[in-house]
A and B are shown apart, each in its own frame.
Chain A
Amino acid sequence: MATLDVAAIKADFPIFKRTVRNDHRLVYLDSGATSQKPFQVLDAERNFYENHNAAVHRGAHLLAEEATDAFEHARANIARFIGAQADDLVFTKNATEAINLISYSFLNATLKSLRGADLPKGVERFVLAEGDEILVSEMEHHANLVPWQELCEKTGAVLRWIGLTEDGRLELSDPSLFNSRTKMVAVTHQSNLLGTVNDVPAIVKLAESVGALVFLDACQSVPHMPVDVVALGVDFIAWSGHKMLGPLGIGCLWGKSEVLSAMPPFISGGSMIESVSMERTTFAAPPKRFEAGVPMAAQAVGMSAAVDYLNALGMASVAQHEHMLTEAALAGLADIPGLRIIGPENSIDRGSAVSFVLEGLHPHDVGQVLDESGIAVRVGQHCAKPACIRFGVQATTRATFYIYNDLEDVDALVAGIYSAKKFFGV
Protein backbone atom coordinates (compact mmCIF):
# COMPACT_ATOMS: atom_id res chain seq x y z
CA MET A 1 0.00 0.00 0.00
CA ALA A 2 1.43 3.34 -1.00
CA THR A 3 1.43 6.42 1.21
CA LEU A 4 -0.42 9.25 -0.48
CA ASP A 5 1.65 12.17 -1.70
CA VAL A 6 -0.73 14.91 -0.60
CA ALA A 7 1.30 17.76 -2.12
CA ALA A 8 1.19 16.07 -5.54
CA ILE A 9 -2.53 15.32 -5.15
CA LYS A 10 -3.29 18.92 -4.16
CA ALA A 11 -1.54 20.15 -7.28
CA ASP A 12 -4.19 18.30 -9.31
CA PHE A 13 -7.02 20.27 -7.71
CA PRO A 14 -7.37 23.78 -9.15
CA ILE A 15 -9.44 25.00 -6.20
CA PHE A 16 -6.42 24.80 -3.90
CA LYS A 17 -4.77 27.52 -5.97
CA ARG A 18 -7.18 30.09 -4.58
CA THR A 19 -7.23 31.53 -1.12
CA VAL A 20 -10.30 32.09 1.00
CA ARG A 21 -11.28 34.58 3.71
CA ASN A 22 -8.51 36.98 4.73
CA ASP A 23 -6.19 35.39 2.15
CA HIS A 24 -5.96 32.12 4.07
CA ARG A 25 -5.10 28.86 2.40
CA LEU A 26 -8.15 26.63 1.99
CA VAL A 27 -8.43 23.88 4.57
CA TYR A 28 -11.26 21.89 3.07
CA LEU A 29 -12.81 19.59 5.65
CA ASP A 30 -16.23 19.23 4.05
CA SER A 31 -15.71 16.40 1.56
CA GLY A 32 -18.48 14.47 3.28
CA ALA A 33 -20.85 17.05 1.78
CA THR A 34 -19.10 17.24 -1.57
CA SER A 35 -15.53 16.62 -2.67
CA GLN A 36 -13.32 18.92 -4.72
CA LYS A 37 -12.53 17.97 -8.33
CA PRO A 38 -9.15 17.25 -9.91
CA PHE A 39 -8.37 18.70 -13.33
CA GLN A 40 -8.46 15.17 -14.77
CA VAL A 41 -12.19 15.06 -14.07
CA LEU A 42 -12.79 18.59 -15.32
CA ASP A 43 -10.79 17.88 -18.47
CA ALA A 44 -12.66 14.64 -19.17
CA GLU A 45 -15.98 16.43 -18.97
CA ARG A 46 -14.75 19.32 -21.07
CA ASN A 47 -13.27 16.95 -23.65
CA PHE A 48 -16.61 15.22 -24.00
CA TYR A 49 -18.39 18.49 -24.72
CA GLU A 50 -15.65 19.77 -27.00
CA ASN A 51 -15.12 16.66 -29.09
CA HIS A 52 -17.84 14.06 -28.72
CA ASN A 53 -21.00 15.80 -27.63
CA ALA A 54 -24.24 14.15 -28.79
CA ALA A 55 -27.32 12.54 -27.27
CA VAL A 56 -26.38 8.96 -26.42
CA HIS A 57 -28.31 5.91 -27.65
CA ARG A 58 -29.83 7.99 -30.43
CA GLY A 59 -28.75 9.20 -33.83
CA ALA A 60 -27.01 7.54 -36.76
CA HIS A 61 -24.00 9.79 -36.81
CA LEU A 62 -20.39 9.55 -35.67
CA LEU A 63 -20.74 11.86 -32.70
CA ALA A 64 -23.71 9.88 -31.38
CA GLU A 65 -21.61 6.71 -31.65
CA GLU A 66 -18.68 8.29 -29.84
CA ALA A 67 -20.88 9.76 -27.13
CA THR A 68 -22.61 6.40 -26.62
CA ASP A 69 -19.26 4.63 -26.45
CA ALA A 70 -17.94 7.12 -23.91
CA PHE A 71 -21.09 6.80 -21.81
CA GLU A 72 -21.12 3.00 -21.83
CA HIS A 73 -17.38 2.83 -21.24
CA ALA A 74 -17.93 5.03 -18.18
CA ARG A 75 -20.66 2.71 -16.95
CA ALA A 76 -18.39 -0.34 -17.27
CA ASN A 77 -15.49 1.42 -15.59
CA ILE A 78 -17.58 2.64 -12.66
CA ALA A 79 -19.20 -0.80 -12.28
CA ARG A 80 -15.76 -2.45 -12.19
CA PHE A 81 -14.77 -0.04 -9.41
CA ILE A 82 -17.30 -1.74 -7.10
CA GLY A 83 -16.76 -5.25 -8.47
CA ALA A 84 -19.94 -5.21 -10.55
CA GLN A 85 -21.14 -5.85 -14.11
CA ALA A 86 -21.98 -2.86 -16.31
CA ASP A 87 -25.56 -4.02 -16.93
CA ASP A 88 -26.30 -3.89 -13.22
CA LEU A 89 -25.33 -0.24 -12.84
CA VAL A 90 -28.00 2.42 -13.26
CA PHE A 91 -27.20 6.11 -13.56
CA THR A 92 -29.41 8.48 -11.59
CA LYS A 93 -29.18 12.19 -10.91
CA ASN A 94 -27.86 11.54 -7.39
CA ALA A 95 -27.97 8.94 -4.63
CA THR A 96 -31.23 10.35 -3.29
CA GLU A 97 -32.89 9.63 -6.63
CA ALA A 98 -31.43 6.12 -6.60
CA ILE A 99 -33.06 5.44 -3.23
CA ASN A 100 -36.34 6.89 -4.46
CA LEU A 101 -36.05 4.64 -7.51
CA ILE A 102 -36.14 1.61 -5.22
CA SER A 103 -38.88 2.94 -2.94
CA TYR A 104 -41.04 3.88 -5.93
CA SER A 105 -40.46 0.45 -7.47
CA PHE A 106 -42.02 -0.95 -4.32
CA LEU A 107 -44.89 1.52 -4.55
CA ASN A 108 -45.49 0.91 -8.25
CA ALA A 109 -45.41 -2.85 -7.84
CA THR A 110 -47.83 -2.58 -4.91
CA LEU A 111 -50.25 -0.33 -6.83
CA LYS A 112 -50.20 -2.59 -9.87
CA SER A 113 -50.79 -5.61 -7.68
CA LEU A 114 -53.76 -3.93 -5.99
CA ARG A 115 -55.34 -3.37 -9.41
CA GLY A 116 -54.93 -7.06 -10.18
CA ALA A 117 -52.44 -6.47 -12.98
CA ASP A 118 -50.43 -9.38 -14.31
CA LEU A 119 -47.08 -9.06 -12.63
CA PRO A 120 -43.89 -10.38 -14.22
CA LYS A 121 -42.02 -13.04 -12.28
CA GLY A 122 -40.06 -11.78 -9.29
CA VAL A 123 -42.09 -8.60 -8.83
CA GLU A 124 -43.87 -10.06 -5.80
CA ARG A 125 -40.81 -9.24 -3.71
CA PHE A 126 -41.67 -5.58 -4.30
CA VAL A 127 -45.35 -5.85 -3.42
CA LEU A 128 -46.08 -4.59 0.08
CA ALA A 129 -49.09 -5.58 2.14
CA GLU A 130 -50.38 -3.72 5.16
CA GLY A 131 -48.22 -4.66 8.13
CA ASP A 132 -45.17 -5.58 6.10
CA GLU A 133 -42.05 -3.99 7.54
CA ILE A 134 -39.26 -1.79 6.24
CA LEU A 135 -36.26 -1.67 8.52
CA VAL A 136 -33.89 1.30 8.65
CA SER A 137 -31.58 2.60 11.36
CA GLU A 138 -31.55 5.65 13.58
CA MET A 139 -28.31 6.89 11.98
CA GLU A 140 -29.69 7.22 8.44
CA HIS A 141 -29.27 10.30 6.33
CA HIS A 142 -32.72 11.76 5.61
CA ALA A 143 -32.29 10.46 2.05
CA ASN A 144 -32.40 6.89 3.35
CA LEU A 145 -35.22 7.56 5.77
CA VAL A 146 -37.82 9.89 4.27
CA PRO A 147 -38.41 7.82 1.08
CA TRP A 148 -39.15 4.77 3.26
CA GLN A 149 -41.42 6.78 5.58
CA GLU A 150 -43.29 7.96 2.51
CA LEU A 151 -43.53 4.43 1.13
CA CYS A 152 -44.93 3.14 4.42
CA GLU A 153 -47.46 5.94 4.60
CA LYS A 154 -48.72 5.14 1.11
CA THR A 155 -48.81 1.34 1.45
CA GLY A 156 -49.64 0.67 5.09
CA ALA A 157 -46.26 -0.96 5.62
CA VAL A 158 -44.62 -0.27 8.98
CA LEU A 159 -41.30 1.51 9.38
CA ARG A 160 -39.06 0.08 12.08
CA TRP A 161 -35.56 1.06 13.00
CA ILE A 162 -32.40 -0.25 14.55
CA GLY A 163 -31.42 1.95 17.48
CA LEU A 164 -27.94 3.17 18.34
CA THR A 165 -25.60 2.44 21.22
CA GLU A 166 -24.01 5.27 23.23
CA ASP A 167 -20.84 5.02 21.15
CA GLY A 168 -22.73 5.34 17.90
CA ARG A 169 -22.98 1.73 16.76
CA LEU A 170 -26.04 -0.17 15.56
CA GLU A 171 -27.91 -1.89 18.36
CA LEU A 172 -28.40 -5.25 16.67
CA SER A 173 -29.28 -7.22 19.78
CA ASP A 174 -33.05 -7.19 19.19
CA PRO A 175 -33.65 -10.12 16.82
CA SER A 176 -37.37 -9.32 16.49
CA LEU A 177 -36.48 -6.39 14.23
CA PHE A 178 -35.78 -8.96 11.54
CA ASN A 179 -38.92 -11.04 11.14
CA SER A 180 -41.16 -12.68 8.55
CA ARG A 181 -42.81 -9.31 7.74
CA THR A 182 -39.49 -7.60 7.01
CA LYS A 183 -39.37 -6.94 3.27
CA MET A 184 -36.59 -4.44 3.02
CA VAL A 185 -33.60 -3.47 5.14
CA ALA A 186 -32.11 -0.09 4.21
CA VAL A 187 -29.05 1.01 6.16
CA THR A 188 -25.98 3.10 5.64
CA HIS A 189 -22.54 1.62 5.08
CA GLN A 190 -20.87 4.56 6.81
CA SER A 191 -22.75 7.19 8.80
CA ASN A 192 -22.31 10.70 7.43
CA LEU A 193 -22.81 12.16 10.91
CA LEU A 194 -21.11 9.66 13.24
CA GLY A 195 -18.48 8.15 10.98
CA THR A 196 -19.50 4.64 12.07
CA VAL A 197 -18.80 1.89 9.54
CA ASN A 198 -21.56 -0.66 9.97
CA ASP A 199 -21.19 -4.41 10.20
CA VAL A 200 -22.67 -5.24 6.80
CA PRO A 201 -22.11 -9.03 6.95
CA ALA A 202 -24.06 -9.19 10.23
CA ILE A 203 -26.94 -7.20 8.73
CA VAL A 204 -26.96 -9.29 5.55
CA LYS A 205 -27.05 -12.49 7.59
CA LEU A 206 -30.01 -11.30 9.64
CA ALA A 207 -31.85 -10.07 6.55
CA GLU A 208 -31.20 -13.26 4.62
CA SER A 209 -32.59 -15.32 7.47
CA VAL A 210 -35.98 -13.67 6.90
CA GLY A 211 -35.74 -13.27 3.12
CA ALA A 212 -35.58 -9.46 3.14
CA LEU A 213 -33.81 -7.38 0.52
CA VAL A 214 -30.86 -5.28 1.68
CA PHE A 215 -30.01 -1.80 0.45
CA LEU A 216 -26.77 -0.14 1.46
CA ASP A 217 -26.35 3.64 1.33
CA ALA A 218 -22.75 3.78 0.13
CA CYS A 219 -22.39 7.56 -0.30
CA GLN A 220 -19.77 7.75 2.44
CA SER A 221 -18.09 4.42 1.72
CA VAL A 222 -17.47 4.03 -2.02
CA PRO A 223 -15.44 7.29 -2.18
CA HIS A 224 -13.35 6.34 0.83
CA MET A 225 -12.65 2.60 0.97
CA PRO A 226 -12.47 -0.46 -1.26
CA VAL A 227 -16.02 -1.68 -1.88
CA ASP A 228 -16.87 -4.98 -3.53
CA VAL A 229 -20.61 -5.47 -3.87
CA VAL A 230 -20.33 -9.22 -4.40
CA ALA A 231 -18.33 -9.67 -1.21
CA LEU A 232 -20.77 -7.44 0.70
CA GLY A 233 -23.66 -9.68 -0.30
CA VAL A 234 -26.25 -6.90 -0.37
CA ASP A 235 -28.98 -6.51 -3.01
CA PHE A 236 -28.44 -2.84 -3.84
CA ILE A 237 -26.12 0.03 -3.14
CA ALA A 238 -26.32 3.68 -4.13
CA TRP A 239 -23.81 6.47 -4.07
CA SER A 240 -23.07 9.76 -5.80
CA GLY A 241 -20.35 11.00 -8.12
CA HIS A 242 -19.79 14.36 -6.50
CA LYS A 243 -18.55 12.95 -3.19
CA MET A 244 -15.85 10.92 -4.98
CA LEU A 245 -14.11 13.66 -7.00
CA GLY A 246 -16.70 13.40 -9.78
CA PRO A 247 -19.19 15.92 -11.16
CA LEU A 248 -22.45 17.03 -9.59
CA GLY A 249 -25.65 15.67 -11.07
CA ILE A 250 -24.81 11.99 -11.28
CA GLY A 251 -25.41 9.12 -8.91
CA CYS A 252 -25.40 5.35 -9.23
CA LEU A 253 -27.65 2.54 -8.25
CA TRP A 254 -26.20 -0.94 -8.39
CA GLY A 255 -28.50 -3.91 -7.94
CA LYS A 256 -28.19 -7.67 -8.30
CA SER A 257 -29.19 -8.56 -11.80
CA GLU A 258 -32.18 -10.72 -10.79
CA VAL A 259 -33.43 -8.00 -8.44
CA LEU A 260 -33.17 -5.17 -10.97
CA SER A 261 -34.86 -7.33 -13.61
CA ALA A 262 -37.87 -7.79 -11.37
CA MET A 263 -38.29 -4.10 -10.54
CA PRO A 264 -40.94 -1.99 -12.24
CA PRO A 265 -39.70 1.35 -13.58
CA PHE A 266 -39.73 4.57 -11.56
CA ILE A 267 -39.41 7.46 -14.03
CA SER A 268 -40.94 6.66 -17.41
CA GLY A 269 -40.54 8.17 -20.86
CA GLY A 270 -38.08 7.84 -23.70
CA SER A 271 -35.13 5.43 -23.75
CA MET A 272 -36.56 3.13 -21.10
CA ILE A 273 -38.99 1.39 -23.42
CA GLU A 274 -38.94 -1.75 -25.50
CA SER A 275 -42.09 -1.10 -27.53
CA VAL A 276 -44.77 1.57 -27.36
CA SER A 277 -48.26 1.69 -28.82
CA MET A 278 -51.11 4.04 -27.96
CA GLU A 279 -52.54 1.31 -25.74
CA ARG A 280 -49.52 0.06 -23.84
CA THR A 281 -45.77 -0.01 -23.38
CA THR A 282 -43.28 -2.70 -22.61
CA PHE A 283 -40.05 -1.78 -20.92
CA ALA A 284 -36.40 -2.22 -21.72
CA ALA A 285 -34.19 -4.46 -19.63
CA PRO A 286 -32.09 -2.83 -16.88
CA PRO A 287 -30.19 -0.59 -16.71
CA LYS A 288 -32.03 1.32 -19.47
CA ARG A 289 -35.41 0.60 -17.88
CA PHE A 290 -34.42 3.02 -15.13
CA GLU A 291 -32.82 5.70 -17.31
CA ALA A 292 -35.64 7.61 -18.97
CA GLY A 293 -34.67 10.61 -21.07
CA VAL A 294 -31.32 11.70 -22.47
CA PRO A 295 -28.79 10.66 -19.84
CA MET A 296 -25.98 12.70 -18.25
CA ALA A 297 -23.19 11.44 -20.50
CA ALA A 298 -20.65 14.17 -19.72
CA GLN A 299 -21.10 13.61 -16.00
CA ALA A 300 -20.69 9.86 -16.45
CA VAL A 301 -17.44 10.48 -18.32
CA GLY A 302 -16.31 12.80 -15.54
CA MET A 303 -17.22 10.27 -12.87
CA SER A 304 -15.33 7.60 -14.77
CA ALA A 305 -12.26 9.86 -14.75
CA ALA A 306 -12.71 10.19 -10.98
CA VAL A 307 -12.69 6.39 -10.75
CA ASP A 308 -9.44 6.30 -12.75
CA TYR A 309 -7.95 8.90 -10.43
CA LEU A 310 -8.88 6.92 -7.31
CA ASN A 311 -7.75 3.63 -8.87
CA ALA A 312 -4.35 5.14 -9.56
CA LEU A 313 -4.04 6.04 -5.88
CA GLY A 314 -5.47 2.69 -4.79
CA MET A 315 -8.55 2.59 -2.59
CA ALA A 316 -6.72 0.71 0.15
CA SER A 317 -4.22 3.57 0.27
CA VAL A 318 -7.04 6.11 0.32
CA ALA A 319 -8.66 4.32 3.26
CA GLN A 320 -5.35 4.05 5.10
CA HIS A 321 -4.61 7.75 4.58
CA GLU A 322 -8.01 8.76 5.93
CA HIS A 323 -7.63 6.38 8.84
CA MET A 324 -4.35 8.05 9.79
CA LEU A 325 -5.98 11.51 9.64
CA THR A 326 -9.01 10.32 11.61
CA GLU A 327 -6.81 8.94 14.37
CA ALA A 328 -4.89 12.21 14.54
CA ALA A 329 -8.10 14.25 14.59
CA LEU A 330 -9.70 12.13 17.31
CA ALA A 331 -6.53 12.41 19.40
CA GLY A 332 -6.29 16.18 18.90
CA LEU A 333 -9.96 16.77 19.67
CA ALA A 334 -9.91 14.53 22.74
CA ASP A 335 -7.56 16.99 24.48
CA ILE A 336 -9.86 20.00 24.02
CA PRO A 337 -11.75 20.79 27.24
CA GLY A 338 -15.54 20.71 26.86
CA LEU A 339 -15.44 18.87 23.54
CA ARG A 340 -17.61 15.82 23.04
CA ILE A 341 -17.31 13.51 20.03
CA ILE A 342 -20.68 12.42 18.64
CA GLY A 343 -19.99 8.94 17.31
CA PRO A 344 -17.27 6.38 17.97
CA GLU A 345 -14.39 7.90 19.93
CA ASN A 346 -11.89 5.40 18.59
CA SER A 347 -10.90 4.75 14.99
CA ILE A 348 -12.05 1.13 14.84
CA ASP A 349 -14.62 0.49 12.07
CA ARG A 350 -14.84 4.19 11.56
CA GLY A 351 -14.54 6.54 8.63
CA SER A 352 -13.28 10.08 8.55
CA ALA A 353 -16.49 11.94 9.42
CA VAL A 354 -15.78 13.43 12.84
CA SER A 355 -18.68 15.22 14.52
CA PHE A 356 -18.40 17.07 17.79
CA VAL A 357 -20.06 19.58 20.08
CA LEU A 358 -18.42 22.10 22.39
CA GLU A 359 -19.86 23.08 25.71
CA GLY A 360 -21.17 26.64 25.63
CA LEU A 361 -20.55 27.11 21.93
CA HIS A 362 -23.02 26.58 19.12
CA PRO A 363 -21.76 24.71 16.03
CA HIS A 364 -22.68 27.55 13.70
CA ASP A 365 -20.50 29.90 15.71
CA VAL A 366 -17.66 27.36 15.70
CA GLY A 367 -17.98 27.01 11.93
CA GLN A 368 -17.93 30.77 11.52
CA VAL A 369 -14.69 31.21 13.46
CA LEU A 370 -13.09 28.29 11.59
CA ASP A 371 -14.18 29.81 8.29
CA GLU A 372 -12.46 33.04 9.24
CA SER A 373 -9.17 31.08 9.15
CA GLY A 374 -10.02 29.35 5.89
CA ILE A 375 -11.21 26.10 7.46
CA ALA A 376 -14.36 24.77 5.78
CA VAL A 377 -16.46 22.44 7.94
CA ARG A 378 -20.13 21.60 7.96
CA VAL A 379 -22.41 22.60 10.82
CA GLY A 380 -25.99 21.70 11.63
CA GLN A 381 -27.85 18.43 11.60
CA HIS A 382 -26.18 16.94 8.52
CA CYS A 383 -29.49 15.61 7.19
CA ALA A 384 -29.49 13.20 10.11
CA LYS A 385 -31.77 14.87 12.64
CA PRO A 386 -32.95 11.64 14.30
CA ALA A 387 -29.34 10.76 15.14
CA CYS A 388 -28.80 14.27 16.56
CA ILE A 389 -31.88 13.77 18.73
CA ARG A 390 -30.62 10.34 19.80
CA PHE A 391 -27.45 11.92 21.15
CA GLY A 392 -29.27 14.89 22.65
CA VAL A 393 -27.61 17.51 20.48
CA GLN A 394 -29.28 20.25 18.53
CA ALA A 395 -26.53 20.29 15.91
CA THR A 396 -22.86 19.39 15.52
CA THR A 397 -19.74 20.64 13.83
CA ARG A 398 -18.40 18.03 11.41
CA ALA A 399 -15.00 17.68 9.81
CA THR A 400 -14.49 15.13 7.05
CA PHE A 401 -11.14 14.20 5.53
CA TYR A 402 -10.15 13.07 2.07
CA ILE A 403 -7.13 12.44 -0.14
CA TYR A 404 -6.08 16.11 -0.32
CA ASN A 405 -6.00 16.60 3.45
CA ASP A 406 -2.94 16.15 5.60
CA LEU A 407 -1.86 16.40 9.24
CA GLU A 408 -1.38 20.12 8.84
CA ASP A 409 -5.13 20.36 8.18
CA VAL A 410 -5.85 18.39 11.33
CA ASP A 411 -3.62 20.78 13.30
CA ALA A 412 -5.40 23.76 11.74
CA LEU A 413 -8.75 22.33 12.83
CA VAL A 414 -7.60 21.79 16.40
CA ALA A 415 -6.01 25.26 16.59
CA GLY A 416 -9.17 26.76 15.08
CA ILE A 417 -11.34 25.21 17.76
CA TYR A 418 -9.11 26.69 20.46
CA SER A 419 -9.46 30.08 18.74
CA ALA A 420 -13.23 29.74 18.74
CA LYS A 421 -13.23 28.95 22.45
CA LYS A 422 -11.02 31.94 23.12
CA PHE A 423 -13.11 34.25 20.96
CA PHE A 424 -16.31 33.35 22.79
CA GLY A 425 -14.62 33.12 26.18
CA VAL A 426 -15.58 29.52 26.91
Chain B
Amino acid sequence: MKLENMYQEIILDHYKHPHGKGLAEAFDAEVHHVNPTCGDEITLRVSRGTDGKFSVSYDSMGCSISQASASIMFDQINNHDFKSGEAAVDHLVAMLQRSVEADEDVLGDGIALAGVAQYPARVKCALLAWMAWKDAAIQAGAESQLETRISIDSNKEQN
Protein backbone atom coordinates (compact mmCIF):
# COMPACT_ATOMS: atom_id res chain seq x y z
CA MET B 1 0.00 0.00 0.00
CA LYS B 2 1.44 3.33 -1.08
CA LEU B 3 -0.32 5.21 1.68
CA GLU B 4 2.27 4.10 4.24
CA ASN B 5 4.97 5.66 2.07
CA MET B 6 3.47 9.04 2.73
CA TYR B 7 2.19 8.52 6.22
CA GLN B 8 5.35 7.08 7.71
CA GLU B 9 5.44 6.46 11.45
CA ILE B 10 7.81 9.37 11.94
CA ILE B 11 5.39 11.73 10.14
CA LEU B 12 2.47 10.63 12.27
CA ASP B 13 4.64 11.05 15.36
CA HIS B 14 5.46 14.66 14.46
CA TYR B 15 1.76 15.23 13.69
CA LYS B 16 0.63 13.98 17.06
CA HIS B 17 3.51 15.52 19.02
CA PRO B 18 4.62 18.64 17.14
CA HIS B 19 7.94 20.29 18.05
CA GLY B 20 8.18 23.98 18.80
CA LYS B 21 4.51 24.80 18.37
CA GLY B 22 3.44 28.04 20.04
CA LEU B 23 4.13 31.66 19.19
CA ALA B 24 6.93 33.66 20.80
CA GLU B 25 6.01 37.11 22.13
CA ALA B 26 8.85 38.99 20.48
CA PHE B 27 9.47 38.87 16.74
CA ASP B 28 10.89 40.86 13.85
CA ALA B 29 8.49 39.55 11.22
CA GLU B 30 5.25 37.61 11.22
CA VAL B 31 3.54 35.93 8.28
CA HIS B 32 0.27 34.09 7.84
CA HIS B 33 0.13 31.53 5.07
CA VAL B 34 -2.82 29.40 4.04
CA ASN B 35 -3.38 26.42 1.80
CA PRO B 36 -6.92 26.90 0.51
CA THR B 37 -7.23 23.33 -0.76
CA CYS B 38 -7.01 22.01 2.79
CA GLY B 39 -7.80 25.03 4.84
CA ASP B 40 -4.33 24.64 6.41
CA GLU B 41 -3.07 27.77 8.12
CA ILE B 42 0.17 28.77 9.74
CA THR B 43 1.21 31.90 11.58
CA LEU B 44 4.97 32.05 11.79
CA ARG B 45 7.28 34.51 13.52
CA VAL B 46 11.01 34.99 13.23
CA SER B 47 13.49 36.98 15.27
CA ARG B 48 16.87 37.76 13.84
CA GLY B 49 19.71 37.47 16.34
CA THR B 50 22.89 39.58 16.27
CA ASP B 51 24.67 36.48 14.98
CA GLY B 52 22.38 36.51 11.89
CA LYS B 53 20.52 33.41 13.02
CA PHE B 54 16.71 33.31 12.99
CA SER B 55 14.72 31.92 15.84
CA VAL B 56 11.36 30.57 14.72
CA SER B 57 8.01 30.17 16.41
CA TYR B 58 4.72 29.18 14.89
CA ASP B 59 1.13 28.21 15.43
CA SER B 60 -0.73 26.16 12.87
CA MET B 61 -3.80 24.13 12.05
CA GLY B 62 -4.19 21.61 9.30
CA CYS B 63 -3.73 18.16 7.92
CA SER B 64 -1.18 15.65 9.18
CA ILE B 65 1.31 16.40 6.41
CA SER B 66 1.28 20.16 6.96
CA GLN B 67 1.51 19.81 10.73
CA ALA B 68 4.27 17.20 10.67
CA SER B 69 6.17 19.26 8.14
CA ALA B 70 5.95 22.37 10.35
CA SER B 71 7.32 20.38 13.28
CA ILE B 72 10.20 19.07 11.15
CA MET B 73 10.86 22.55 9.80
CA PHE B 74 11.26 23.76 13.37
CA ASP B 75 13.77 20.99 14.12
CA GLN B 76 15.80 21.70 11.01
CA ILE B 77 15.75 25.48 10.67
CA ASN B 78 15.25 27.04 14.07
CA ASN B 79 18.32 29.08 15.05
CA HIS B 80 19.92 28.66 11.66
CA ASP B 81 21.16 31.44 9.47
CA PHE B 82 19.24 32.22 6.33
CA LYS B 83 21.66 30.55 3.96
CA SER B 84 21.41 27.21 5.67
CA GLY B 85 17.65 27.47 6.15
CA GLU B 86 17.08 28.42 2.55
CA ALA B 87 19.24 25.52 1.40
CA ALA B 88 16.99 23.19 3.39
CA VAL B 89 13.83 24.71 1.84
CA ASP B 90 15.34 24.37 -1.58
CA HIS B 91 16.33 20.79 -0.98
CA LEU B 92 12.82 19.96 0.25
CA VAL B 93 11.30 21.48 -2.88
CA ALA B 94 13.70 19.51 -5.09
CA MET B 95 12.93 16.30 -3.21
CA LEU B 96 9.17 16.84 -3.61
CA GLN B 97 9.71 17.40 -7.31
CA ARG B 98 11.69 14.18 -7.33
CA SER B 99 14.70 15.94 -8.84
CA VAL B 100 17.15 14.99 -6.05
CA GLU B 101 17.70 12.13 -3.64
CA ALA B 102 16.73 13.11 -0.13
CA ASP B 103 19.70 14.11 2.03
CA GLU B 104 19.17 13.39 5.71
CA ASP B 105 21.95 15.77 6.70
CA VAL B 106 19.94 18.63 5.22
CA LEU B 107 16.37 17.60 5.99
CA GLY B 108 16.59 15.40 9.08
CA ASP B 109 13.21 13.72 9.59
CA GLY B 110 12.09 15.66 6.52
CA ILE B 111 13.37 12.86 4.32
CA ALA B 112 10.27 10.96 5.46
CA LEU B 113 8.24 13.49 3.47
CA ALA B 114 9.61 12.04 0.23
CA GLY B 115 6.47 9.90 -0.16
CA VAL B 116 4.40 13.07 -0.51
CA ALA B 117 5.88 13.51 -3.99
CA GLN B 118 3.61 10.68 -5.18
CA TYR B 119 0.56 12.78 -4.30
CA PRO B 120 0.82 16.15 -6.10
CA ALA B 121 -2.16 17.56 -4.23
CA ARG B 122 -0.26 17.21 -0.96
CA VAL B 123 2.96 18.94 -1.97
CA LYS B 124 1.55 22.30 -0.92
CA CYS B 125 0.75 20.86 2.51
CA ALA B 126 4.36 19.76 2.95
CA LEU B 127 5.77 23.10 1.81
CA LEU B 128 3.49 25.43 3.73
CA ALA B 129 5.58 25.96 6.88
CA TRP B 130 8.88 26.10 5.03
CA MET B 131 7.65 28.72 2.58
CA ALA B 132 6.20 30.70 5.46
CA TRP B 133 9.62 30.63 7.15
CA LYS B 134 11.35 31.85 4.00
CA ASP B 135 8.82 34.65 3.54
CA ALA B 136 9.18 35.72 7.19
CA ALA B 137 12.98 35.62 7.10
CA ILE B 138 13.04 37.79 3.97
CA GLN B 139 10.62 40.20 5.59
CA ALA B 140 12.98 40.33 8.57
CA GLY B 141 15.80 41.42 6.28
CA ALA B 142 17.34 38.25 4.87
CA GLU B 143 18.38 38.29 1.24
CA SER B 144 17.49 35.31 -0.89
CA GLN B 145 20.33 33.74 -2.85
CA LEU B 146 18.27 31.12 -4.61
CA GLU B 147 15.29 31.13 -6.85
CA THR B 148 12.70 28.92 -5.25
CA ARG B 149 11.53 26.64 -7.97
CA ILE B 150 7.99 26.24 -6.85
CA SER B 151 5.62 28.87 -5.68
CA ILE B 152 2.71 28.38 -3.41
CA ASP B 153 -0.26 30.64 -3.22
CA SER B 154 0.23 32.35 0.04
CA ASN B 155 -2.44 34.42 1.68
CA LYS B 156 -4.83 33.75 -1.14
CA GLU B 157 -8.21 32.16 -1.00
CA GLN B 158 -8.65 30.13 -4.10
CA ASN B 159 -11.48 27.70 -4.02
A positions within 8 Å CB-CB of B: 21-22, 142, 362-365, 368-369, 372, 379-383, 385, 388, 394-395, 423-425
Docked pose: A388 CA to B119 CA in angstroms: 25
Q: Are B41 and A365 in contact (CB under 8 A)?
A: no
Q: Of B41, B61, B62, which is in contact with the most chain A CB atoms at under 10 Å from its CB?
A: B62
B7 interfacial contact with A, CB 8 Å? yes
In addition to A21-B2, A362-B38, 14 A-B residue pairs with Cβ atoms within 8 Å of each other are A362-B63, A362-B64, A364-B38, A364-B65, A365-B7, A365-B63, A365-B65, A372-B3, A379-B37, A380-B38, A381-B36, A388-B39, A394-B62, A424-B64
Docked pose: A382 CA to B125 CA in angstroms: 17
Please provide the chain B residues from 42 to 64 with a CB less than 8 Å away from any CB of chain A in the complex: 61-64
Q: DSSP majority for the B interface?
A: loop
Shortest CB-to-CB span from B41 to chain A, Å, is: 7
Binary contact track B119-159/A, C-beta < 8 Å → 1, others 0: 10010010000000000000000000000000000000101
Q: With A22-B1, A372-B3, A380-B159 in contact, is A365–B64 under 8 Å at CB?
A: yes
Q: Are A395 and B1 in contact (CB under 8 A)?
A: no
Docked pose: A21 CA to B118 CA in angstroms: 12
In this complex, what residue of B is CB-closest to A425?
A: B12
Shortest CB-to-CB span from B122 to chain A, Å, is: 7
A residues near B159, Cβ cutoff 8 Å: 142, 380-383
Shortest Cβ-Cβ A-B pairs, 5 listed: A395-B39, A364-B63, A362-B63, A394-B39, A364-B38
Q: With A372-B2, A372-B3 in contact, is A380–B36 under 8 Å at CB?
A: yes
A residues near B36, Cβ cutoff 8 Å: 380-381
Q: DSSP majority for the A interface?
A: helix
Q: Are A368 and B119 in contact (CB under 8 A)?
A: yes
Cβ contact of A380, chosen from B6, B37, B65, cutoff 8 A: B37
A residues near B157, Cβ cutoff 8 Å: 142, 385
A residues near B12, Cβ cutoff 8 Å: 424-425
Please provide the chain B residues from 1 to 40 with a CB less than 8 Å away from any CB of chain A in the complex: 1-3, 6-7, 12, 36-40
A residues near B1, Cβ cutoff 8 Å: 22, 372
Docked pose: A22 CA to B39 CA in angstroms: 28
Shortest CB-to-CB span from B50 to chain A, Å, is: 38
A residues near B40, Cβ cutoff 8 Å: 364, 394
Q: Are B125 and A364 in contact (CB under 8 A)?
A: yes
A residues near B3, Cβ cutoff 8 Å: 368-369, 372, 423
B residues near A388, Cβ cutoff 8 Å: 39
In this complex, what residue of A is CB-closest to B64?
A: A365
Docked pose: A106 CA to B39 CA in angstroms: 33
In this complex, what residue of A is CB-closest to B61?
A: A394
A residues near B38, Cβ cutoff 8 Å: 362-364, 379-380, 395
B residues near A21, Cβ cutoff 8 Å: 2
B residues near A380, Cβ cutoff 8 Å: 36-39, 159
Cβ contact of A364, chosen from B2, B41, B122, cutoff 8 A: B122
